[in-house]
Structure 1
């Protein structure tokens, strides 16, 4: 009984005492803000890279071939280096002013996500019959119009579940944002643990928060996929 009471007191101190729950709320807000804007940036970069790599196939245009090499270098470097290192480089190279940490985190995770999203989108584009691209060309449509109006809408629909999973993965990866003093969920837990001198309860609370967020998003993603599948049958 004493053990249960002591355990309850530890978690009370880690969450309710001195309104410490506000630190978790601040962490949740920052985690979601970083994840949302980073995935938007990642999708933008991913689309650009995927389109360049698709158009570059068989192209003899020197500009497109150069852009293709740049895109391949970007994807290779980002996927071959840890995000923990990338966030320090971006924070110290670009966002050196004070109170710019959250922008550094968004930029870092957006650039990192873009490399992975580009491969997802490229696979989605390649799943579309190339004959549709050639049909568009035979109608006199430009490459940009064909990609924007014919290829990408179909590709995006095919890869939406994968993009949703990328967003969920990104939420968990933001746990390293605390390395540059961003108060995300993990950083909030570490801060509270340093105040209570009892590190485990805040960490378990943070784990529970991530679990709730991820399970909630997974549920929403599943509902969206079922609705998307239902619309395909009509």
Structure 2
């Protein structure tokens, strides 16, 4: 196998890896925010909020992420012209409009799965914790915010770490709308070098390095949290 093409095209992989990590961080951040909101909706006593949460979760989990990206991409571009964010464009190296659509699509998809993770985490907390917080004078929302949710997030940290690792790989799907991330970088190098195997092997190796580092970091956080108990 010949990897001499990396001397000329290696920067494509570096730029693609940077954009993949940035895209994943944006998606997991907003995915957690959406997940927390819809998890609370699903646990609410309000039937309308529960219906909204269940509808969102079931639709997102029941349809392919590729279809979701295409619907969002063509739906937004057909009716709305997103403004470019110069600072973001400078970081990723091209117009940020498509990048924002891709990040939004991945975040919306992740939010449905994170919602179920958070819901399970909240329900795993002993009901006595809520009763104890209420007995100390805290309202339901305050008890949920300061007592239940912090404990739940501690319990679901491994699952959220797995979701981050999964998102690193799932972001490859945004290459279909032309976003320059790691998979797209591999495709560009493959076309430029007329090599079918080596460029993809390099991309796979970079993905592995990113996910392995992320997994080790999550394991480190788990050990730290256990030590603090």
How far 1:41 sits from its partner (Å)?
A: 0.5
Aligned to 2:199: 202
Distance 1:158 1:144 in 2: 20
Structure-1 separation of matches of 2:133 and 2:190: 60
Q: 2:19 aligns with which of 17, 27, 30?
A: 30
**4+ residue stretches of structure 1 with deviation over 4 A?**
none
Cα distance between partner residues in 1 of 2:140 and 2:129: 12
Trace 1:1-234 onto structure 2 (pairs within 5 A). 7-8=1-2, 11-13=3-5, 15-17=6-8, 20-54=9-43, 56=44, 59=45, 64-95=46-77, 97=81, 99=95, 100-232=97-229
TM-aligned CA distance change 1:191 to 1:227, over 3 Å? same
Q: Deviations over 1:54-84 (max 9, x none)?
A: 2x2xx3xxxx210110100000000000111
SS of 2:166's equivalent in the other structure is helix
Deviation at 1:139, TM superposition (A): 4.0
> Which has more radius of gyration?
1
How many pairs were matched up? 214
Q: If the length of structure 2 is used for normalisation, what is the TM-score?
A: 0.89
Normalized against structure 1, the TM-score is what? 0.87
5+ residue gaps in structure 1?
1-6
> 1:124-179 deviations in whole A, cap 9, x for unaligned?
10011122223333444222211101110110111111101100000000011100
Q: Which runs of 5+ in 2 are unaligned?
A: 83-94
Judge which range, 161-170 or 94-103, deviates more. Answer: 94-103
